[in-house]
Amino acid sequence: MTPARGDSTGSDRLFASVHVLLALPPLFWAANWIVGRALRDSPPFTLAFARWAFAVAFMLPFCRAEVRAAWPAMRRHWLWLLPVTILGGGIGNVLSYVGLKQTTAINAAFLNSFVPIIIIVLTWALGRERLTLSQVLGVLVSLAGVVTILSRGSLDMLIALRLNQGDLVLLISLLLWSIYTILLHDRPLQLHPMALLFVIAVQALIVLSPFAAYEYASGNRIALTVANIAAVAFIGLFSSFLAYFLYNRGVELGGARLAGLYTHLMPVYLVALAWLFLDENLEWFHVGGIGLIVAGIWLASRGSQIAKTADPDAPRESPG
């Protein structure tokens, strides 16, 4: 039964607000980093496999009908679906974990801040979007905020930053993520977003399974404690299922460029979570950097083509 227009104010408005949709995934991914730090002794590929396994388990009760209904569209658009699922949940994830094994968290956060720039260059090179002065200024201002936080307001610390082989692998992973973001905006109308996310999650399990199996055979396993299982279930639900679903929907409404810009919120959330849960101090450069990031997002969003409303009964949300 379709709700009356007057009754569809809560969730409909949430899923129509591109800023809410794109602001939440970096929070869930930042929480993943905090949880990952707590589980830093766990094998990375097994952890990633378990995370997506929980995500599939959470999704299954909600998406069976959507997957069945979207199956004809999947078969028609498999040339689009294959790279999207591999980049979104498979190869990109593997390369990011490989890179993170060989680099520092600071380097990873710094490199992650280049995602908006990669997306802008790719969308411009492909002739998909025209750049506006407001968007360019917004990216530069928010990037300055990221650099301020990561360098702790010190030019010497920024100069001392060194890249290594792990950083190169991570850059390739971020390039693949940027391509995934751009491709997402072309989602076929008949392919329900929940069905797409389920396929991405299953693809991730397929790609990660041999690496996880090797870790298990080598004796490198996750300790089966209540705390560890709860932590993996948390990142499966929030950092995988909900984060990807909201991000995919946000890209659909706001475009790849704006979605990429919101990744600059990652260090903001990391600072806040570290302050709340890890007893780390909130310094002046945190506040200044956060201010620059928010200002940059505001500037860039002024020049973006964003859908102001989303009709819950529109064909784009109806699998065909």
Question: Looking at residue 39, what DSSP letter applies?
Answer: T
User: What tens digit of pLDDT does each residue of 227-281 get?
Assistant: 888 988 998 899 888 888 888 888 888 877 778 778 778 777 877 776 777 666 6
Mean pLDDT, rounded, for 174-202: 83
Where are the domains positioned within the chain? 18-306
User: What tens digit of pLDDT does each residue of 24-83 get?
Assistant: 998 888 887 777 667 767 788 888 888 889 999 998 888 888 888 888 888 888 888 888
User: What tens digit of pLDDT does each residue of 129-150 get?
Assistant: 676 777 778 778 877 877 776 6
H-assigned helices in 78-132: 78-85, 91-100, 105-112, 115-125
Mean pLDDT, rounded, for 176-189: 83
**C-beta neighbour count of 190 within 10 angstroms:** 18
Contact call for residues 284 and 148 (beta carbons, < 8 A)? no
H-assigned helices in 255-283: 256-261, 265-277
Please report, rounded to a whole number, the percentage of residues in the chain having pLDDT higher than 70.
76
